[in-house]
Every structure is written in structure tokens, then in C-alpha cells.
Amino acid sequence: ENVPQKTSPFSTHSYDVFIPPDILNLSSFTKLMKKLQEIHPEASRDKIVDALLKVRRNNEGILSGLSINTIVERTSVIL
């Protein structure tokens, strides 16, 4: 039976990168993306999300507990 898959607002590639909502809620994600896009206008959305995923991997697989400024700083180093 074909059931359409739900898409995530965090999905950026055809292979569907998914950041669970409990890791980073939508409003925080939106603020983070806006801030990173302002700082790095040359970076695509996909590049920013990839960098965020690296920051998460480097922080034991979680972003919660880090301030938005800390996440922005660490992501900017990667970008």
C-alpha cells in the first residue's frame, strides 16, 4: 500500500535529512537559519543545514543546551 511520506520542514535534500523537533524546535531553527543567512549570505540553505548537522555531531549528537549564539559561532567556523 502506497502511503505518502510526510515531509519535514527540516528536509533539505532528496535523501531527507531530518532534525527531530525535540532537538531543535521550529522557532529556534527559523531564528538560527535567519541569523546564519544574514552572516553568511553566500552560503546556501543546504550548506548551512549541513554545517548545523556537523555542529550537532560534534556536540554528542545534540544541540539543546547550547545557546543560539554558540551554535551560530560553531556553525560559522564550519562555513
- Grid cell listed for 38: 544574514
pLDDT single digits (tens) 33-77: 999 999 999 999 999 999 999 999 999 998 888 888 999 999 999
Residues 6+ apart with CB under 8 A from 54: 78
C-alpha gyration radius of the chain: 13
pLDDT given for residue 25 in this prediction? 59
Domain spans in the chain, listed from the N-terminal domain onward: 31-77
Of 64 and 24, the one with more pLDDT: 64
Supply the DSSP symbol for 30. Answer: H
Of 38 and 24, the one with more pLDDT: 38
When pLDDT is averaged across residues 12-22 and rounded to a whole number, the result is: 50
Q: Is residue 24 packed enough to be buried (19+ CB in 10 Å), middle (13-18) or exposed (0-12)?
A: buried
